[in-house]
Amino acid sequence: MNETPRYSRHELLRLIGSEGQEKIKRSRVFVAGLGALGSLIAILLARAGVGFLRIVDQDYPELHNLHRQLLYDEKDVKQGISKADAAQRHLEAVNSQIEIEAVTTIIGPDTVDRLTEGVDLVVDGLDNIIPRYFINDSILARRIPYVFGGAIEASGNVMTIIPGKTPCLRCLWPRPDAVANHPRASEVGVLSAAATAVASLEVTEAIKILVGREDEVLSGLLVMDIWNDIFHVAAVEPDPACLCRKL
């Protein structure tokens, strides 16, 4: 009896097909942050068959993470291992055919270029705006696509950046200090379903890019209110004075 191929349901999907699945297999993705967003992003990309995942976080699993961070369990909390190492163990149990590089570090000016080195795409699950600017500037210099998202309370947002084609993070928020003090989940909470919705949409954007359908990515900032079932794509205009217009 022949076994059904692992990725058959992707290969049957006309949006991906066998050619697209082969592109996914050859792709290399950096997942920035392994919290509520990043843990589901990593799960979905690993299950989709992304050939190489570089997963990065500086923290360790805690009990209060478990209601929304789907990669971890109580055993991980008790063992006190890093999120990156715990994530690698769980992801390898899901898909032993892909390569996973787990990195426990801060994403900052001294590390970001090393972390974006050799990847085709960055997908962001961070809960802090400042590291996003480091990633934004690094991917612009290297012309690497970047998908970022955020979730707070019952709301979220997603934006896709294609260097040379779309506005970037600095076009959206020119001044990091102006958004650095926005509320965080540790202060106002987050609905687990909101986080998983944002992460799923980020992965959809990522797969569009990986299979060569960049022209179908979001045209602006997707803003959503999960509780009230409101979804809206806000236009983002490129800033002629922005770094991304000068590279």
pLDDT per residue as tens digits for the range 2-43: 678 999 999 999 999 999 999 999 999 999 999 999 999 999
Over the stretch 148-193, which tens digit does the pLDDT of each residue have? 999 999 999 999 999 999 999 999 998 887 777 777 777 889 999 9
CATH number, domain 8-245, options 3.40.50.970, 3.40.50.720, 1.10.10.10, 3.20.20.120: 3.40.50.720
Domain spans, the chain: 8-245
Q: pTM of the entire structure?
A: 0.95
Non-local CB neighbours of 8 within 8 Å, separated by 6+ positions: none
Q: What is the DSSP string of 173-213?
A: -S-HHHHTTS--HHHH-B-HHHHHHHHHHHHHHHHHHHTT-
Contact 69, 46 (CB under 8 A): no
CB 44 within 8 A of CB 55: no
CA distance 71 to 88: 9
Assign 80 to helix, strand or coil: coil
Contact 134, 170 (CB under 8 A): no
